[in-house]
């Protein structure tokens, strides 16, 4: 496998794994996402679409390279949000001062009923950690490292031709 193909593959598999882990922790592990957790998911979804598009383009074409680098940028954006979220959890940054929820309703009474059943998930509290690093911290580490590797593979491969 050449550098270009390795970069495209990482650009597809990394956000798939990270988004899959986030969804698994929510639906299997019972960890409800806070607002900033959601923010970290959106760039991964975009990266999956971009990297998937890179596989539809001819191998080693400029279109495939551009789509892969855009996927790496989206992955890095998720990592940057993860850094901020981890900083909020560690009380380095202030974060939100208001509550947020994903509950929707057709009436005020219906909304109140739904809000009473929705768990309050704070962005400044760690729900789960491994080796003292929260999920947001792990997302930052894997996303930023992965984006750097993808960029190195894609741009390094270009210079060696």
What is the per-residue pLDDT for 88? 81
What is the per-residue pLDDT for 32? 82
Number of domains in the chain: 1
- Average pLDDT score over the chain: 83
Looking up residue 73, the CATH number of its domain turns out to be 1.20.1550.10
Distance CA(48)–CA(114), nearest Å, equals 32
pLDDT tens digits for 21-35?
Answer: 988 888 888 878 887
Domain, as residue range, for 32:
3-159
pLDDT tens digits for 43-91?
Answer: 999 999 999 999 998 877 889 999 999 999 999 999 998 988 788 877 7
- Whether residue 117 has pLDDT greater than 80: no
Q: How far is CA 154 from the centre of its chain?
A: 21
Q: How many of the other CB atoms lie within 10 Å of CB of 99?
A: 11
What is the per-residue pLDDT for 157? 47
60 with 117: CB under 8 angstroms? no
């Amino acid at each position: 496998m050449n550098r270009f193909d390795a970069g495209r593959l990482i650009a597809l598999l990394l956000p798939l794994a990270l988004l899959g882990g986030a969804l698994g922790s929510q639906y299997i592990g019972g960890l409800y996402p806070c607002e900033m957790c959601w923010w970290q998911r959106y760039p991964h979804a975009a990266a999956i679409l971009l990297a998937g598009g890179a596989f539809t383009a001819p191998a080693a074409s400029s279109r495939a390279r551009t789509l892969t680098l855009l996927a790496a940028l989206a992955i890095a954006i998720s990592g940057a949000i993860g850094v901020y979220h981890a900083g909020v959890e560690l009380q380095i940054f202030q974060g939100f001062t208001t509550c947020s929820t994903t509950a929707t309703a057709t009436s005020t009474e219906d909304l109140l009923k739904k809000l009473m059943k929705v768990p309050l998930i704070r962005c400044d509290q760690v729900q789960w950690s491994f080796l003292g690093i929260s999920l947001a911290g792990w997302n930052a580490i894997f996303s930023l490292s992965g984006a750097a590797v993808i960029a190195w593979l894609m741009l390094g491969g270009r210079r060696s031709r």
